Structure 1
Amino acid sequence: MLSHRWGWEEKEKEPLLQDIQGKIVYKLNSPGGIVKLRKFCEIARDAGYHWAWNDTCCIDKSSNVELQQSLNSMFIWYQHSVLTIVYLSDVLPSSKSGALERIIIFYQKDWTPYLNNRCRNHKKSTAIMKELEVVTGIDRQALINFSPGMSDA
């Protein structure tokens, strides 16, 4: 499975089922999402797998029923995937350790930082994280170190 952020700009347009159906992915040569799809398939093949699954082109979005069923099933598909390839389009090859840290900044309705806190990452704000812990009932460390999964859902 490919875990990735969808490209929204025209040059990054993600391929749909109709764009690749009946075609050989390795021979497609248009820019943007096709390159990402082709590279994903190559990596999966080189790892010894014969099949690869990418949400943008493996779900028929023209069928509302299939789309809804697929969206409802995706968590389980990812959970049972034997290989998940994570493509980080915003992490540059020159990145150093720490590039995967996820930053959270809370904004108010008028787009000003919550509590006027202008720090780079609100996960490092004791006041904000304590308040979040109180209102959600979720331990502050669990919020800061959030890891999606089925345990402690």
Structure 2
Amino acid sequence: RKGDEKIQNSCSLAFNDGYEFIWFDANYIDKSNSSELWEAINFMFAWYRMADVCYVYLSDVYNDINTRLRLDRADILESRWFTRGWTLQELLAPRRVKFYFADWSLMGNRASLNRIISKATGVSQEFLLSHSRAVHEASVAERMSWLARRTTAKIEDLAYCALGIFDVNVPLIYGEGRKAFFRLQQEIIKASDDYSIFCWTYEDEGGDDHADGLDHGSIFASSPAAFLDSTGFKQLPTYKQRAWGVVENRLTPFVLTNAGLSMQIPLLQSWSTF
């Protein structure tokens, strides 16, 4: 079976690299156990971050010597692995990531392939060349943009697959639909004063706007797709915050009530680009 072949070949890679142990998320999580599933999803990013290496098998990318690593290779840019929600943390969290073609020959690693991976995923090269700690230095809007084109089998998992990316935890409630993404954003503003979470673009998705029980006039986005064009939003450097008095004059925290969201934000005049 293909699954068995994948396990056998992965074990061979690990053995040849000098490792005694290898872990497969698909095989070692009991999804029928709710507490184990909650722990796995909420702490998956941390687990991957402790990994010395992550092996990525691209079953839909073939080893073509003539176009081996060209930036315009459609099969690489459109590989399903780069479009799945759950694989974003697999890409960013481990110390090293090694990619393999469909024939299990080595394609390269995250660093050597950073240009084509960046083109395929929208993740800036700086975050592909560094370890996972740097991921949390990206603005909330930029991290959301990395999820904008990704998909999951269950709509709730678009929120749950991003928990480690934003370093937050939420209860798992399957069946709530897009409310899961709403709860994710609530947790993010509790833990962060990054205003870029509100830098998204509304797009009418058609159908019944209230079918999921959400108010689409909300300041919160209904899905990561709303952040597709938000890559360019960066956090203001600390030295500029100090120069403009933002650090010294600490702002009030976000307050979410049944009447809406209350917040105090700086209004700054800039005569030059950041």
TM-score w.r.t. length of structure 2: 0.28
- Structure of greater Rg: 2
TM-score w.r.t. length of structure 1: 0.47
